[in-house]
C-alpha cells in the first residue's frame, strides 16, 4: 500500500467516524481509482434528514479530520442551503445530501463502474 492509499484510508475512516457521530445515514464509499479521468480517488456519500443535520454532519467531519489527522478540506460548497454539501479533500470528495436530494441526483448510478462499499450503521 502506498503512502497516498494509507492516508486516504485513514481520512475515509475519520470521515465515517464524523458522519456516525451525528447519525448520518446510508454511507457509501465509491472507489474510483480504476476509472479513467476521475477527479479524485474516492467519493464518500451519506445523507441526513434535514438541513440542520446535513450541516452538523459536515461540521463533525471537519472536526474529526482536523483534530485526528490535521486534514482540512481544500474546498466546501453548498452550506448556504445544506441540500447537498460537497467537501473536497483532493483525493477524497465527500457528498452530504438531504435524502430527497440524494435520490434525485443519484450520483451512485452516474459512477456505475465504481466499486461501492456500503457502511452498516447501528442506529
Q: What's the whole-model pTM score?
A: 0.93
Q: How would you list the strands of the sheet with 92-98, edge to edge?
A: 75-77, 84-88, 92-98, 42-48, 25-31, 115-119
pLDDT of residue 121: 85
* pLDDT computed for residue 60 by the predictor: 98
Helix or strand (DSSP H, E) at 46: strand 42-48
76: burial class by Cβ within 10 Å (0-12, 13-18, 19+)?
Answer: middle
Give the 3-state secondary structure of residue 97. Answer: strand
CA 67, CA 61: separation in Å to the nearest integer?
10
In this prediction, residue 51 carries a pLDDT of 95
Q: For every one of its 123 residues, what pLDDT tens digit does the chain have, with 9 covering 90 and above?
A: 455 555 899 999 999 999 999 999 999 999 999 999 999 999 999 999 999 999 999 999 999 999 999 999 999 999 999 999 999 999 999 999 999 999 999 999 999 899 999 999 888
Domain ranges of the chain: 3-118
Q: Which CATH class is domain 3-118?
A: alpha beta
Amino acid at each position: 500500500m502506498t503512502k497516498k492509499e494509507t492516508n486516504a484510508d485513514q481520512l475515509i475512516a475519520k470521515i465515517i467516524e464524523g458522519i456516525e457521530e451525528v447519525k448520518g445515514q446510508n454511507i457509501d464509499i465509491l472507489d474510483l481509482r480504476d476509472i479513467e479521468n476521475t477527479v479524485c480517488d474516492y467519493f464518500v456519500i451519506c445523507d441526513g434528514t434535514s438541513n440542520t443535520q446535513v450541516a452538523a454532519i459536515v461540521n463533525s467531519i471537519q472536526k474529526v479530520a482536523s483534530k485526528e489527522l490535521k486534514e482540512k478540506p481544500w474546498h466546501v460548497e453548498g452550506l448556504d442551503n445544506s441540500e447537498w454539501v460537497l467537501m473536497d479533500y483532493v483525493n477524497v470528495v465527500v457528498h452530504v445530501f438531504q435524502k430527497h436530494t440524494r435520490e434525485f441526483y443519484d450520483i451512485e448510478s452516474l459512477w456505475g463502474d465504481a466499486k461501492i462499499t456500503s457502511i452498516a450503521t447501528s442506529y
